[in-house]
């Protein structure tokens, strides 16, 4: 265990250094903007990521060190799973899991990217640990702690609601009926509701628009595109790594480890279903990844092949990190260029004021870089947090808008008495408009 803890501390320091060096991605900057407008919850997601960024403001003098509280929380997830696996399997399984998680693009490098995935995976993992403890020694206190963890997880990301559903299936399919303690379940529900109050109160006050948005975002399409499903399946296998995924699939455990099957494959099956109703992003089933890696690590037959995964992900991470600061390829995938994609626009605010942006990503990244407000223009691109704050509506007769080349100005400009003039273009990527009221 001492060697595991040493690896844990060294990797934490490594993550903190990387987190301070690598520029914030546009989505991270978006959540940072939320922390400048603290609320109980938000249109796009619950509020925990903004609250953590607010704590991170203590390290804002380090620039990207604003991520540090999120990075530390994500790295604590590693300790939780080491504890879980050591109770179910053995020391070697925990060590194998540690190396798999550190090399995983989702749990390793991905955990330094400050998104709602980090806190929801943390509270999901805490909930797995607490449920396993509850299963061994059920009491009202253990139910209360589990309910509290789920409530806090709900303040991180709505995906946590899958956990009680999986517990329900586990109890009935595995015949664990001794856990159906009505009074204790009510205690868990009450504690869960209490710690979910920020999200619930905010949604009640805002006509449940956040719940509606998430449902529409994930299950809102009336037609099915086969690409959604096969890209989802292939993407999940690739993100875990094929050999690791197969090792997890082939693992058979004793009765005490059966719950891992549910928290590993349950979320994947849910999002497989949702892929018939809309496009599933690669990170949505991330709550399943720790358990999948746990099952793989416990499969001794495949351990000798795991080095292939470590080497592959290490090389990819090294290439990404180097290419970020010293571009080697002209056509690097757009996703890998997100932290620097708006670099050429960073000086615009000093020249044009007031400056608005066409997307929340662009507005947030320019705001974080300059530390001066840049709002997304009201009703431009898809609805988001900016459309619900006053700063997105211009109050001057003249203003400037920078946007992606293919992004159209909102209808309230094009149909009203505004004169629009293109004053600068960057190839076919960005365009700057001058908008003047006639």
Q: Considering all CA atoms of the chain, what is the largest pairwise distance in Å, rounded to the nearest integer?
A: 75
Span 14-57, pLDDT tens digits: 999 999 998 899 999 999 999 999 999 999 999 999 999 999 99
% of the chain exceeding 70 in pLDDT = 95
Return the DSSP state at 157.
-
> pLDDT tens digit string along 334-358?
555 667 788 889 889 889 999 999 9
Cβ-in-10-Å burial (0-12, 13-18, 19+) of 99 comes to buried
Give the pLDDT confidence of 240-260 residue by residue, as tens digits.
999 999 999 998 877 778 999
Q: Contacts for 79-84 with beta carbons within 8 Å, 24 or more apart?
A: 79/8, 80/122, 80/125, 80/126, 80/128, 80/129, 81/125, 81/290, 81/294, 82/4, 82/8, 83/129, 84/125, 84/128, 84/129, 84/132, 84/294
Write the DSSP symbol of residue 391.
Answer: G
Mean pLDDT, range 402-423, rounded to an integer: 88
Question: Could you tell me the pLDDT band of residue 116, with boundaries at 50, 70 and 90?
Answer: very high
| pLDDT tens column, 308-325 | 998 998 888 887 777 766
CA distance 74 to 18: 14
Q: From 348, 353, 350, 351, select the one nearest 403 (Cα to Cα).
A: 348
Q: Check pLDDT > 60 for residue 207.
A: yes
Q: Which residues pair with 41 in a beta bridge?
A: 46
What is the rounded CA–CA span in Å between residue 316 and residue 201? 43
Q: At what angle do helices 242-250 and 226-240 cross, to 10 degrees?
A: 90
- pTM for the model stands at 0.93
């Amino acid at each position: 265990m001492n060697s595991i803890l040493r690896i844990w501390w060294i990797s934490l320091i490594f993550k903190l250094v990387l987190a301070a060096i690598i520029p914030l991605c546009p989505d991270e900057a978006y959540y940072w903007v939320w922390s400048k407008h603290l609320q109980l919850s938000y249109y796009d997601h619950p509020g925990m990521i903004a609250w953590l960024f607010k704590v991170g403001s203590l390290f804002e003098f380090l620039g990207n060190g604003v991520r540090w509280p999120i990075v530390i929380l994500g790295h604590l997830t590693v300790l939780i799973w080491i504890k879980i696996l050591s109770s179910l399997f053995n020391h070697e399984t925990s060590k194998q899991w540690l190396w798999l998680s550190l090399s995983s693009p989702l749990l390793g490098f991905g955990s330094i990217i400050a998104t709602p995935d980090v806190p929801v995976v943390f509270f999901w993992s805490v909930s797995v640990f607490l449920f396993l403890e509850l299963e061994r020694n059920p009491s009202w206190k253990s139910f209360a702690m589990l309910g509290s963890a789920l409530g806090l997880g709900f303040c991180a990301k709505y995906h946590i609601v899958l956990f009680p559903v999986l517990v329900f299936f586990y109890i009935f399919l595995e015949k664990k009926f001794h856990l159906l303690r009505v009074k204790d379940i009510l205690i868990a529900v009450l504690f869960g509701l209490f710690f979910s109050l920020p999200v619930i109160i905010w949604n009640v006050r805002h006509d449940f628009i956040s719940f509606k948005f998430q449902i529409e975002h994930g299950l809102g399409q009336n037609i099915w595109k086969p690409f959604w499903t096969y890209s989802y399946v292939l993407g999940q296998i690739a993100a875990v790594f094929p050999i690791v995924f197969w090792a997890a699939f082939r693992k058979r455990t004793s009765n005490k480890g059966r719950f891992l099957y549910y928290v590993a494959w349950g979320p994947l099956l849910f999002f497989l279903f949702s892929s018939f109703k809309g496009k599933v992003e690669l990170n949505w089933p991330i709550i399943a990844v720790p358990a999948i890696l746990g099952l793989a690590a416990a499969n001794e037959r495949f351990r000798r092949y795991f080095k292939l995964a470590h080497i592959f992900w290490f090389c990819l991470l090294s290439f990404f990190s180097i290419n970020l600061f010293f571009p080697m390829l002209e056509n690097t995938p757009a996703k890998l260029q997100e932290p620097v994609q708006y670099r050429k626009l960073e000086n615009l605010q000093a020249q044009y004021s007031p400056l608005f942006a066409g997307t929340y990503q662009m507005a947030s990244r320019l705001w974080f870089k300059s530390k001066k407000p840049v709002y997304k223009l009201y009703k431009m691109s898809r609805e988001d947090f900016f459309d619900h704050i006053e700063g997105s509506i211009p109050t001057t007769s003249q203003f400037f808008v920078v946007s992606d080349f293919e992004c159209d100005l909102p209808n309230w400009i094009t149909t009203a008495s505004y004169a629009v003039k293109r004053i600068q273009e960057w190839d076919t990527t960005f365009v700057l408009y001058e908008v003047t009221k006639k």
